[in-house]
A and B are shown apart, each in its own frame.
Chain A
C-alpha cells in the first residue's frame, strides 16, 4: 500500500456539469476525511466516514455535494451542477482512529 491516492489529480469542467472524485485510503484505515482548500487558505472540513458510515457533514457541503463510502474502503465525492465557486483543491485523508492522518495529493477542480 503506497498511501492515500486520489483520482483525478486535475479536473476542468464547465459550469453546470457534474463531477466525481475518488479517494482510495490506506487499506487498514477506518476513517476517511474530505477537505476543501481554496487558494491561500487552510483546508476546510467537508465530511468524514468511519468505515461506511458518514458521521459528520459540514455546512459547507451543500445539497449539490454528496459523498459515499459504500464498502468502507474507497470513497467518492460528487458535485452536481458545478459552480465557479466550487473551484478548489479537494483533499482526502485517512487515519486509524486519531492516529496520524495521511493525505492524498488532492484533486484540483477548475470550473470554467
Chain B
C-alpha cells in the first residue's frame, strides 16, 4: 500500500461543476502539498498546509490531521483547470512523498 493514496485517479466533469479530489496518507507528516501538473511536466505548488483550510481563488484545500486526510476542491470548474493534481506529504524521513495523482478533465 502506498504511503499516499489519492482518489479518484481520473475525473471528468462538465464546466461549472464542483470538484473534489481526496488524499489519504498513512505516515505522520509535518505538512502536505497540493500540486498541479500540466501536460509538459512542470509542477506548480498550489497549497502547503499543516492544519485547517486554505483558499486561493476558486481552489480550497482542507486537511484533517487526526484522520490523515486532505481534500482539494475546485469551485466553478473551467477547462483550464484540466491537469493532474498531486498530493505530497512531508514525512518523518524529511522528503516529499507523492501520491499517484488525479487526472482531471473539465469539458466545456
Contact = CB atoms under 8 A, between A and B. Distances in A.
Interface of A: 33, 35, 37, 40-45, 48, 55-56, 89, 91, 93, 98-106, 108
Interface of B: 4, 30-31, 33, 35, 40-45, 48, 86, 88, 90, 93-101
Nearest to B97: A45
A91 B96 CA distance: 12
A26 B43 CA distance: 15
B54 to A, nearest CB: 12
Given A42-B101, A43-B86, A98 B42 contact: no
A48 B45 contact: no
B88 to A, nearest CB: 8
A12 to B, nearest CB: 15
B48 A100 contact: yes
Contacts, number: 63
B101 A106 contact: no
Contact of A103 (B44, B90, B99, B101): B44
Nearest to B86: A42
**At the interface, is chain B mostly helix, strand, loop or mixed?**
strand
**At the interface, is chain A mostly helix, strand, loop or mixed?**
strand
B96 A105 contact: no
Contact of B41 (A40, A45, A100, A106): A106
Contacts of A37: 41
B33 A35 contact: no
B45 A42 contact: no
Contacts of B98: 35, 42-45
Contact of A42 (B41, B90, B99): B99
A37 B94 CA distance: 19
B53 to A, nearest CB: 17
A42 B100 contact: yes
A91 B45 contact: no
A106 B40 CA distance: 9
